[in-house]
Structure 1
Amino acid sequence: MKTPHDLVTEARQHITEVSPQEADAAIRDADVLIDVREADEFAGGHLPGAILIPRGVLEFRLGSKPELGRRDLEIVLYCKTSGRAALAARSLKEMGYLSVRSIAGGIDAWIAAGKPVVKPELPSFE
């Protein structure tokens, strides 16, 4: 029986990962930057320009949105440490997306590299 770690390791053999340093160019060239974490994680801080599509609904959401259905889209994915993004990238490749990249180390590596993170501000109730 395979473990989650086995699945992520296997997925990484079939996808393209970019370092946080390489991610700047990949994001600049991308049509869409997708955060595959959960809503509460996204609300706690995310990469500038990212849209939230949690891993559990990614394939369905892409399949239901015509603007995200083009298989030649340049897509960059990330999650917390890159496991979910690796699985998501492999799934999108299997769906026929031609240019999918995952950020190695996820948002944790992004932050460790000193890269910017957007943290939504809550309204003041004073």
Structure 2
Amino acid sequence: MPTVEVGDLADGDFLLDVREDDEWQAGHAAGALHIPISEFVARYGELTEAAPQDGRVHVICRSGGRSAQVTMYLVQQGIDAVNVDGGMQVWAAAGRPVVDDKGTPGFVL
């Protein structure tokens, strides 16, 4: 499974957050696209519209399990996708910004 460490992500990298709505609302990476894993297949078109044509999709969840499933699905579809190792827990622990729906500081649920 292709993975990437949080520390290797650049500020402009495309990030897909597959956590559920309550997790997203509590706190997420600013600029990430949110498509919950429970809705992913039905909303797949949103990803193909938003993702960079020649870029990589960095998939993140709370700890890496759900994002690993979505990463494998995307790779099978021919998309350059990688799982963010450790997910939002590692993201927050590394001091990366976490914001809520209002853009104020959030937390990882």
What is the TM-score when the length of structure 1 is the normalising length?
0.70
Say if 2:20 is the partner of 1:34: no
Distance 1:46 1:17, change over 3 A: same
Give the AA of the match of 1:120: D
Tell me the residue number matched to 2:107: none
Tell me the residue number matched to 1:20: 6
Structure 2 contact 51–57 (Cα < 8 Å) conserved: no
Tell me the residue number matched to 2:74: 92
What is the TM-score when the length of structure 2 is the normalising length?
0.80
Identity between Structure 1 and Structure 2 (%): 33
Say if 2:86 is the partner of 1:108: no
Give the AA of the match of 1:16: P
- The gaps in structure 1 that reach 5 residues or longer are 1-14
Higher relative contact order (CA 8 A, sep 6+): 2
Shift of 1:73: 4.4
Q: Which has more helix, going by share of residues?
A: 1
Please report the RMSD computed on the Cα atoms of aligned residues, expressed in angstroms.
2.4
Shift of 1:57: 1.9
> 2-side partners of 1:81 and 1:95: how far apart?
23
Q: Using the TM superposition, name which of 69-78 and 109-118 deviates more.
A: 69-78
Q: Deviation digits for residues 73-98 of structure 1, max 9, x if unmatched?
A: 4211100001000110001111221x
Q: Deviation digits for residues 23-71 of structure 1, max 9, x if unmatched?
A: 2x2x52x4x3211000110000000101210012223312366615887
- The gaps in structure 2 that reach 5 residues or longer are 104-109
